[in-house]
Structure 1
Amino acid sequence: MSKQYAEYRFFKHDYKNILASLEYAIQTENMHDIKETYYSVIRRSQLLLPKETMLQLSQLSDIQLRGVILVKYQLAAEHSVNITLSVDKLFDNTSIEKDIDFYRVVGILLDNAIEAVSLTTDKKVSIIFSKDNEIIIVNSYQENIDIHRIEELGYSSKNTHEGIGLSFITRYTMQQPLIEHCTIIENRQFIQKLIVG
């Protein structure tokens, strides 16, 4: 296990405790504890984050969306998966801001992509924010996928999964008239599109 990965696991495991301690230090205005938390833990976690030149995060105005991508970037690193991000223009869509279920949808799609490519030799996931307000996630895959059944509750191409992720996305998009989801398989590439109106 690499030192960087060990540090990541430590930080992930104790994240709630760290936040609780930091919140208490802020409430009691204990600057010493705030500084101690920052320099001993939070600053160290910065080593796990990508350089700005690797991910165009400044082109995403939504801080929660940036957070989802950063968390999944770190998850991908655990599985030796490379994530690339391409943003055609500043992605600033107020219709999805603070919509917790939307961030969950993006997280599910990225989790599925990371897991799928971790089983292949081409360990790459591409995230594209197009100028047409589309979020496109592209990955290769190895297992057989029935594209007509993937959104059914309980269906999964993986033996150990319950198949609730994509069915959640289907239910969510049915309730959101401004958001559309579609799946395409082309040239052994699995393409998920979220079209945000």
Structure 2
Amino acid sequence: MKTLVFYDSLGGNTERVARAIHDVVATTWGDAEILKAHKEIAVNFTDYDLILIGSPVIDWLPTKKLMDHVMGFMKSENAAGRIRPSSPIVPGKFGVCFGTFAGPHIGRTEAVPMTAWLRAFLEHLGYLVLDAWHVPGAFQKRDELNRYGRLGDIRHRPNEADLADIRNRTTGLLTTLSAYRS
């Protein structure tokens, strides 16, 4: 099963989560590609059977860089007539959305619209999205915001427990999908 971990990260939190996911896939299946969104790369998302896509939350959405990749790909697929009405599920195509969020405002609730946006992208391509993973991460620019939000003190997150949870979720995902591996 050809797998892509595609992400953007501003302060390193989402990258740590993406690398934890990638490490499990590479160790378990021996094959996975990990790419950070940047202008110099072009990704054909439909080449992959499993996509794990993630971003930090910026104003309830993914980063602009990641959104630009998604929107550019959607425009090219739509122009080629590959985005179909009702977005039928393509057999053997699966996805998971993930994101990191800080806690100075409303916590996990801020991450849900971001992963929903990514989910809609994958579903337009026909992927069956199996889950959305939300991981607390320290806000990089103002340390005081990491101590007094709804989540309490998140200065050192994602921590090893958060990353262990992501590794466990990834292991469970791969176990579930093992029947689809060719």
TM range (shorter): under 0.3
Bigger relative CO (Cα 8 Å, ≥ 6 apart)? 2
* TM-score for both structures, normalised by structure 2: 0.27
* TM-score for both structures, normalised by structure 1: 0.26
